[in-house]
Amino acid sequence: MRYLWDWNELDHHWNNNEFGEVHDWLNERWAQIVKDSPAGDKDPDARFMQGLAFAALAIYFTQVGNQESACLFLDDALMILPQYKPSYMGIMVEPVLETLHTLRPVISLLGRDDPCPFQPFAYNKLIFDRDQSNA
């Protein structure tokens, strides 16, 4: 089942560093998929949305100085998102993974409440695969 969501809203939040809103947007749609799909949270679309939500939380938590949570969510995202390369649901996965791979070794060396090591934190923007964005 394909959902008709306004991906521009996700794009806006992600590219404007509003990762709390990114998580909320993804979580709302994840819950809809889980409710509607016979596979529940095992549905591939749900897993993808969950992986993106984990990535958003990792970025959010590192920015607010919660490196312990950032590492946990980063690791979760890195377990899920590679399965969806190069793109899924119209979203290019590699730019997200590049950000996570850049962030992971640095924050793993930080204390749990240390500030974000990147000031300002430059993360890859959300990029859509225009060939699949309407699939």
The whole-number pLDDT of residue 82 equals 98
Phi then psi for residue 122, to 5 deg, are -100, 110
Q: Where are the domains of the chain?
A: 7-107
Per the prediction, the chain carries an average pLDDT of: 90
The whole-number pLDDT of residue 1 equals 58
Contacts of 123 (CB under 8 A, 6+ apart): 17, 59, 99, 103
Prediction pTM value: 0.90
pLDDT in tens, 16-51: 999 999 999 999 999 999 999 999 999 999 999 999
The whole-number pLDDT of residue 122 equals 78
Structure token digits, residue 39: 């596979």
56 pLDDT above the threshold of 90 = yes
Question: Could you tell me which CATH class the domain 7-107 is placed in?
Answer: mainly alpha
